Amino acid sequence: MVTTGHMNTGPLTIAEPAWRPSSRAKVLWAINAALLWAPIVIAAAVIAVVGWWPTWVHVVVLSVAVAAAIAHIVIAPLWRCRVHRWEISDTAVYTRTGWLTQERRIAPISRIQTVDTERGPLDQMLSLATVTVTTASSAGAVQITALDQEVADRVVMQLTAIAERNRGDAT
């Protein structure tokens, strides 16, 4: 006779990752958004001055562009800081990212293939870094963005040490 164990049918919960990005992440994300929106707002302003459409069309287009830019530059970084989280355990790397669309990723340590650090010009200016954990997942690498440089260095060392202790096939 085969018996099966009792399966808990209650709600399954996964703890949220504990750590936030650097406090300077908001500045990084705001600058990136401003760099994206600057040419769009400038183009809308130039078209409003030189344009051939009725004035009200130019005012509407420019107003919408400015409102969208302000939302992306001011509100999105604040929201992203509330959402973005990361954590490393002895068994996995956990991340939660996004602002409009949110994504939660869990990468088992045994699947880690490489751990990289990236610092673009703005990251360098703000002493930030992104840690990329490449796994054998078809979903792609897991990124922990906007970390203080010192924290990123510790994360890389920690992940390398944990992966060394937990040698898997990384496939």
Task: Give me the tens of pLDDT residue by residue for the chain, a chain 171 residues long.
Answer: 444 445 555 565 567 899 999 999 999 999 999 999 999 989 888 888 887 888 888 889 889 999 999 999 999 999 999 999 999 998 999 999 987 899 999 999 988 999 999 999 999 999 999 999 998 877 889 999 999 999 999 999 999 898 888 766 555
> Are the beta carbons of 86 and 97 closer than 8 angstroms?
no
User: Are residues 104 and 147 located together in one domain of the fold?
Assistant: yes
68 in helix, strand or coil?
helix
The CA distance from 78 to 25, in Å, is 9
User: Are residues 37 and 71 located together in one domain of the fold?
Assistant: yes
Kindly give, in sequence order, each residue whose CB lies less than 8 Å from that of residue 128, ignoring residues fewer than 6 positions away. 22, 24, 25, 28, 119, 122, 146, 147, 148, 149, 152
pLDDT at residue 99 in the model: 78
pLDDT at residue 136 in the model: 81
- Please give the backbone phi and psi of residue 61, each rounded to the nearest 5 degrees, phi first: -60, -45
pTM: 0.82
Instruction: Please give the tally of structural domains in the chain.
Output: 2
Structural domain containing residue 64: 25-81
pLDDT at residue 2 in the model: 45
> Pairing mode, if any, of strands 92-98 and 128-135?
unpaired
